[in-house]
């Protein structure tokens, strides 16, 4: 709220309580619009407002295309969440890139193709999936959230043909007894993004179906949308695909900054019409991420082969990816340090079959506490995907450099051995 200087807040009834609490400490009074019934006398029920013809709508404005269209929040390569300023122009340009026939399956002439909007619409992945369907005139089946008890049935009942996933969701479909080959019989295409998927997992899924389907993988960031995707006729599992039209990418040595050739690892730098204008009200972070030549430094270590397929092999950044959602360790650490019984803390990622990665905290305690006490404390402070699903370990000290910097590599090793 503070960073984006919000002038109006729109929310779901389920989020009314935390929204109301957040607005109590906000510096100015702004309208609160709730998408349904509300117990707050100052809130406006959007559904009622839309039915009231006496409420005037604002007149449309002429735009140049450079105005901010969306301001999703991303931790970037490191640190707390920052507002990513994406313009109308960058949004439109990205969708033109993505829908090139080399990369995008055209819907049938009847426009009755269907896909499910299960990715969160506040996340760039879910946002773009929704808009792709609307642009192409396809039917989008939405759900309030992922429900393991009904997900497979929704796929069957609505004859879903295109499925957008993150690897943990594919893992669910492979292992769920309710997701039988008969239930999944309508699926023709699976598009996976947000994290790499293993060939083993995709092969297990095809084996379960008893037939071959196409997998497309994609790579991108909130800061640049998608820049790489698997061509529709050239599946290559385990890679991020090839560059989309009008996108440029180079791989550079992490120490020298020199461009490296094919089959040699380095950091991915990209240029694209879908590049953000910068981090909103944060020129310092913008300057760190986008250099003077306009290259976006992704913080991802990758390599490309002789056919132009890119593969992400490591991350220079510290972010934890929970179901494709970014979690900044430093953000979780700052909240934990505010607990009266916590002296110091370090948070790192641990592998998790269901989530992909999960945050794990190593805590130096001031006095004895239970894990449940910490979990309950965090529930009131952080979003669900930022909870310590990877567990908690109490330690006497944390690995640090002579200057006092937390050695995250050592912390990661501690997590792997615990």
pLDDT digits (tens, 9 = 90+) for 232-249: 888 899 899 999 999 999
* Number of compact structural domains in the chain: 3
Token pair for 322: 């929970």
Residues 386 and 407 in one domain: yes
Lowest mean pLDDT among 5-9, 182-186, 218-222, 313-317: 313-317
Residue 347, domain CATH: 3.30.300.30
285 in Cβ contact with 79 (< 8 Å) = yes
**Does 60 reside within a domain?**
no
250 in Cβ contact with 298 (< 8 Å) = no
> Has residue 8 got a pLDDT over 80?
yes
Q: Which pLDDT band, with edges at 50, 70 and 90, does 365 fall under?
A: very high
Of 266, 285, 315, which one is at a domain's C-terminal end? 315
Mean pLDDT of the chain: 89
Dihedral Cα 92, 94, 100, 105, nearest 10 deg? -90
- Measured in degrees and rounded to the nearest 5, phi and psi for residue 5 equal 55, 55
**Does 1 reside within a domain?**
no
Summarize the confidence of residues 386-396 as an average pLDDT.
95
CA–CA–CA angle 399, 315, 381 (5° rounding): 65
Query: What is the 3 state secondary structure string of the chain?
Result: CCCCCCCCEEECHHHHHHHHHHHHCCCCCCCEEECCCCCCCCEEEHHHHHHCCCCCCCCCCCCCCCCEEECCEECCCCCCCEEEEEEHHHHHHHHHHHCCCCCCCCCCCCCCCEEEECCCCCCHHHHHHHHHHHHHCCEEEECCCCCCCCHHHHHHHCCCCEEEECHHHHHHHHHCCCCCCCCCCCCCEEEECCCCCCHHHHHHHHHHHCCCCEEEEEEEECCCEEEEECCCCCCCCCCCEEECCCCEEEEECCCCCCECCCCCCEEEEEECCCCCCEECCCHHHHHHHECCCCCEEEEEEEEECCCCCEEEEEECCCCEEECCEEECHHHHHHHHHCCCCEEEEEEEEEEECCCEEEEEEEEEECCCCCHHHHHHHHHCCCCHHHCCCCCEEECCCCCECCCCCECHHHHHHHHHHC
How far is it, in rounded angstroms, from Cα 95 to Cα 274? 9
Residue 228 has a pLDDT of 97
Residues 178 and 281 in one domain: yes
Residues 252 and 373 in one domain: no
Q: Which residue has the tokens 């989020």?
A: 15
Residues 215 and 342 in one domain: no
Name which residue leads in pLDDT, 53 or 49: 49
**Does 61 reside within a domain?**
no
Residues 23 and 106 in one domain: no
Residues 23 and 127 in one domain: no
Residues 371 and 389 in one domain: yes
Residue 146, domain CATH: 3.40.50.12780
Q: Which residue has the tokens 């590599």?
A: 409
Give percent above pLDDT 70 in the chain.
Answer: 95
Name which residue leads in pLDDT, 124 or 307: 307
Q: Which pLDDT band, with edges at 50, 70 and 90, does 403 fall under?
A: very low
Residue 118 has a pLDDT of 84
Residues 29 and 96 in one domain: no
**Does 3 reside within a domain?**
no
Residues 17 and 99 in one domain: no
**Does 100 reside within a domain?**
yes
Residues 231 and 337 in one domain: no
Of 315, 338, 360, which one is at a domain's C-terminal end? 315
> Has residue 317 got a pLDDT over 90?
no
Residue 401 has a pLDDT of 66
Token pair for 201: 């997992």
Buried b (16+ CB within 10 A) or exposed e, 226-241: bbbbbbbeebbbebbb
> Has residue 78 got a pLDDT over 70?
no
CB-based burial label for 274 (10 Å; 0-12, 13-18, 19+): buried
**Does 58 reside within a domain?**
no
Closest to 172 measured CA to CA, from 355, 412, 407: 355
Distance of CA 43 to the CA centre of its chain: 30
Of 315, 343, 368, which one is at a domain's C-terminal end? 315
pLDDT digits (tens, 9 = 90+) for 111-130: 678 888 888 888 888 888 88
CB-based burial label for 219 (10 Å; 0-12, 13-18, 19+): buried
Residues 264 and 133 in one domain: yes
Residues 98 and 220 in one domain: yes
**Does 201 reside within a domain?**
yes
How far is it, in rounded angstroms, from Cα 187 to Cα 350? 32
407 in Cβ contact with 401 (< 8 Å) = yes
> Has residue 99 got a pLDDT over 70?
yes
pLDDT digits (tens, 9 = 90+) for 126-176: 888 888 888 888 888 988 778 888 899 999 999 999 898 888 889 889 989
> Has residue 402 got a pLDDT over 60?
no
**Does 63 reside within a domain?**
no
Residue range(s) defining the domain that contains residue 136: 68-315
């Amino acid at each position: 709220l503070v960073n984006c200087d919000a002038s109006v807040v729109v929310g779901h009834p389920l989020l009314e309580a935390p929204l109301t609490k957040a607005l109590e400490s906000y510096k100015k009074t702004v309208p609160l619009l709730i998408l349904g019934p509300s117990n707050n006398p100052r809130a406006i029920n959007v559904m009622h407002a839309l039915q009231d013809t006496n409420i005037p709508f604002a007149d449309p404005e002429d735009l140049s295309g450079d105005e901010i269209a969306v301001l999703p929040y991303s931790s970037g390569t490191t640190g707390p969440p920052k507002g990513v300023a994406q313009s109308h122009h960058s949004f439109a340009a990205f969708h033109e890139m993505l829908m090139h026939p080399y990369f995008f399956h055209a819907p049938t002439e009847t426009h009755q193709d269907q896909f499910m909007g299960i990715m969160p619409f506040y996340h760039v992945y879910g946002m773009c999936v929704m808009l792709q369907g609307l642009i192409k005139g396809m039917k989008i089946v939405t759900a309030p959230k992922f429900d393991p008890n009904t997900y497979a049935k929704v796929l069957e009942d609505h004859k879903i043909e295109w499925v957008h996933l993150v690897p943990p969701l594919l893992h669910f479909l492979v292992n769920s007894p309710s997701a039988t080959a008969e239930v999944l019989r309508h699926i023709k295409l699976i598009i996976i993004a947000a994290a790499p998927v293993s060939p083993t997992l995709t092969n297990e899924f095809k084996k379960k179906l008893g037939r071959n389907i196409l997998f497309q993988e994609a790579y991108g960031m909130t800061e640049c949308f998608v820049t790489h995707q698997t061509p529709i006729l050239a599946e290559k599992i385990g890679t991020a695909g090839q560059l989309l039209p009008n996108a440029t990418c180079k791989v550079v040595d992490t120490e020298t900054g020199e461009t490296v050739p094919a089959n040699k690892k380095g950091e991915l730098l990209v240029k694209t019409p879908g590049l953000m204008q910068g981090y909103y009200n944060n020129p310092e972070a913008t300057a760190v991420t986008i250099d003077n030549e306009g290259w976006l430094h992704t913080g991802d270590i990758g390599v490309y082969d002789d056919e132009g397929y890119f593969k992400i092999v490591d991350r220079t950044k510290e972010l934890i990816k929970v179901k494709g959602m970014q979690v900044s360790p430093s953000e979780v650490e700052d909240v934990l340090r505010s607990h009266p019984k916590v002296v110091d803390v370090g948070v790192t990622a641990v592998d998790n079959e269901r989530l992909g990665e999960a945050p794990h905290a190593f805590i130096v305690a001031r006095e004895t506490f239970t894990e449940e006490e910490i979990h309950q404390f965090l529930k009131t402070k952080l979003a669900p995907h930022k909870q310590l699903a990877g567990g908690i370990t109490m330690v006497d000290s944390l690995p640090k450099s002579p200057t006092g910097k937390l050695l995250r590599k050592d912390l990661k090793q501690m997590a792997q051995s615990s």
